[in-house]
Amino acid sequence: MDYSFTEEQRMWRDVVNDFMDREFGRDLTLKHDLAREFPEELYRKMAKEGWLGLLIPEDQGGLGMDKDPVMFAIFCEAIGKFSLDTAACIMTSMFTATNVARHGTAEQRKRYLEPFLAGEAKFSISISEPQSGSDAAGAKSTARLDGDEWVVKGNKVWCSGAHHPGTCIAMMLRTGSARYDFSVLLIPNDTPGLEIQKMDTLVRRSLGTTSLFMDDLRLPRDALLGEVGQGWKYIGEHLSLERLSIAASQIGNARTAHEDTIKYLSEREAFGKKLVQFQVLKHRIAEDRARLSAATYLVYAAACALARGEEASGLVAQAKLIASQTAFDIATNGMQALGGYAQLPEYHMERYFREAKHGMVGGGTNEILRSIIAKSIGL
Q: Is residue 157 part of a domain?
A: yes
Q: Which pLDDT value is given to residue 2?
A: 63
Q: Is residue 367 part of a domain?
A: yes
Task: Give the predicted TM-score (pTM) of the model.
Answer: 0.94
Q: Which pLDDT value is given to residue 4?
A: 82
Q: Looking at the 3D structure of the chain, how many domains does it have?
A: 3
Q: Which pLDDT value is given to residue 65?
A: 85
Q: Is residue 283 part of a domain?
A: yes
Among 192, 214, 229, residue at a domain's last position: 229
Q: Which pLDDT value is given to residue 66?
A: 79
Are residues 342 and 237 both part of a single domain? yes
Are residues 267 and 294 both part of a single domain? yes
User: Which region holds residue 123: left if phi is over 0, alpha if psi is between -120 and 50, else beta?
Assistant: beta
Q: Is residue 89 part of a domain?
A: yes
CATH number, position 167? 2.40.110.10
* Gap between the Cα atoms of 68 and 103, Å rounded: 19
Q: Is residue 33 part of a domain?
A: yes
Q: Which pLDDT value is given to residue 34?
A: 97
Q: Provide the residue range defining the domain that includes 323.
A: 232-376
According to DSSP, residue 229 is labeled: T
Contact 69, 303 (CB under 8 A): yes
Q: Of 314, 292, 291, 294, nearest to 368 (Cα)?
A: 314
* Gap between the Cα atoms of 36 and 29, Å rounded: 10
Are residues 236 and 365 both part of a single domain? yes
Largest distance between two CA atoms of the chain:
80
Among 184, 211, 229, residue at a domain's last position: 229
Helix spans in 178-312 (H)? 231-267, 279-307
Query: pLDDT (tens digit, 0 to 9) for every residue of the chain, 379 residues total?
Result: 666 899 999 999 999 999 999 999 999 999 999 999 999 999 999 999 999 999 999 999 999 887 899 999 999 999 999 999 999 999 999 999 999 999 999 999 999 999 999 999 999 999 999 999 888 999 999 999 999 999 999 999 999 999 999 999 999 999 999 999 999 999 999 999 999 999 999 999 999 999 999 998 999 999 999 999 999 999 888 888 899 999 999 999 999 999 999 999 999 999 999 999 999 999 999 999 999 999 999 999 999 999 999 999 999 999 999 999 999 999 999 999 999 999 999 999 999 999 999 999 988 899 999 999 999 999 9
Element (H, E) at 158: strand 149-160
Among 122, 140, 169, residue at a domain's last position: 122
Q: Is residue 1 part of a domain?
A: no
Are residues 135 and 225 both part of a single domain? yes
Are residues 94 and 210 both part of a single domain? no
* Gap between the Cα atoms of 320 and 375, Å rounded: 16
* Gap between the Cα atoms of 137 and 126, Å rounded: 13
Q: Is residue 53 part of a domain?
A: yes
